[in-house]
């Protein structure tokens, strides 16, 4: 009797998760495995894809400095974007948290607003403002005599970082916001009653406690920026490529699917390593705050 119940209790979770698991395997794991396999196939201009097992693509990526530069740029942009969102987003979340009721919900909406607009539309907005001589902001600044030549934005890494930071800001703010919610509402008063000034309170009491929030926000922003496609595609175009746009080009323009697959696989592997590694590090470092 009891063994039947036991058996059922073992089977039930599997049965209940089966649909989701099948979907997961079907649309994620299998295509992923196929992409990895694809990266070991051969390709030629005239012969197309040949299902053989060679390391040609991987050797090309490893030896050609073009790819190293591409990946280095990808991660440089992602790191700078992460830093920018952390520097602006953490204070933003703190200020937001201190606002009173009505203003708080209004400004929360303002910050989350960008999430409701398509990435393409938002990025095109930046292009309209700073796109060469015709960009609205550039035109205005030049006619006012503030600048002589247009601020370079399109096809620059700076432009990409700024546009990406704009897109990613809500993730950082929400992550820090969540950490702030867990703070004891009296904690600042407690520090104040012990003689701490405002700067000390932020540095010694608030910062250490919201650091896990900043870091988990940073992980989200970093991985999303490193694999972002739409923003780099619009700002950088074909001239300033990052890993994601490079893979896209190999697939759809050169039609060298195996090489594109190798680039995509490498990007994925690198991201997984970085994210899992830093997550483990953060959890160890901030064990006390997370509990």
Choice between 3 and 288, CB closer to other proteins:
288
- DSSP E strands, 102-187: none
Instruction: Let me know the angle formed at the C-alpha of 58 by 57 and 61, rounded to the nearest 5 degrees.
Output: 90
CB of 22 to other proteins, least distance (A): 40
The tokens for 242 are: 């990052």
CB of 20 to other proteins, least distance (A): 34
Choice between 209 and 223, CB closer to other proteins:
209
Choice between 27 and 190, CB closer to other proteins:
190
Instruction: Let me know the angle formed at the C-alpha of 241 by 77 and 235, rounded to the nearest 5 degrees.
Output: 75
Residue environment code for 71-104, b if the CB has 16+ CB neighbours within 10 A, otherwise e: bebbbebbbbbbebbbeebbebbbebbeeeeeee
Choice between 60 and 188, CB closer to other proteins:
188
Which parts of this chain interact with other proteins (CB under 8 A)?
Answer: 184-187, 189-197, 200, 204-205, 208-209, 286, 288-289, 291
Task: Annotate 15-40 with three-state secondary structure.
Answer: HHHHHHHHHHHHHHHHHHHHHHHHCC
CB of 204 to other proteins, least distance (A): 8
CB of 198 to other proteins, least distance (A): 9
CB of 172 to other proteins, least distance (A): 21
Choice between 53 and 184, CB closer to other proteins:
184
């Amino acid at each position: 009797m009891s063994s039947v119940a036991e058996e059922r209790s073992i089977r039930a979770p599997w049965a209940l998760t089966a649909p989701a698991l099948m979907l997961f395997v079907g649309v994620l794991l299998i295509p992923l495995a196929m992409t990895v396999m694809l990266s070991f196939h051969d390709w030629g201009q005239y012969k197309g894809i040949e299902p053989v097992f060679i390391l040609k693509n991987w050797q090309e990526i490893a030896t050609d400095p073009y790819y190293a530069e591409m990946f280095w740029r990808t991660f440089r942009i992602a790191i700078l974007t992460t830093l920018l969102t952390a520097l602006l987003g953490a204070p933003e979340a703190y200020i937001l948290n201190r606002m009173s009721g009505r203003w708080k919900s209004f400004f929360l909406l303002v910050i989350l607003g960008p999430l409701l607009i398509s990435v393409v539309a938002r990025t095109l907005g930046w292009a309209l403002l700073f796109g060469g001589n015709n960009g609205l902001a550039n035109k205005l600044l030049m006619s006012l005599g503030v600048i002589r030549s247009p601020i370079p934005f399109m096809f620059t890494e700076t432009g990409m970082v700024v546009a990406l930071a704009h897109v990613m800001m809500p993730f950082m703010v929400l992550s820090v916001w969540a950490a702030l919610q867990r703070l004891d509402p009296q904690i600042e008063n407690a520090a104040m009653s012990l003689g701490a000034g405002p700067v000390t309170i932020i540095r010694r009491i608030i910062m250490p406690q919201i650091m896990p929030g900043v870091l988990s926000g940073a992980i989200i922003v970093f991985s999303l920026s490193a694999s972002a496609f739409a923003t780099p595609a619009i700002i950088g175009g074909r001239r300033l490529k990052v890993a994601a746009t490079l893979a896209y080009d190999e697939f759809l323009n050169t039609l060298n699917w195996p090489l594109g697959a190798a680039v995509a696989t490498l990007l994925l592997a690198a991201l997984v390593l970085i994210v899992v590694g830093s997550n483990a590090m953060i959890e160890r470092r901030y064990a006390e705050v997370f509990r």
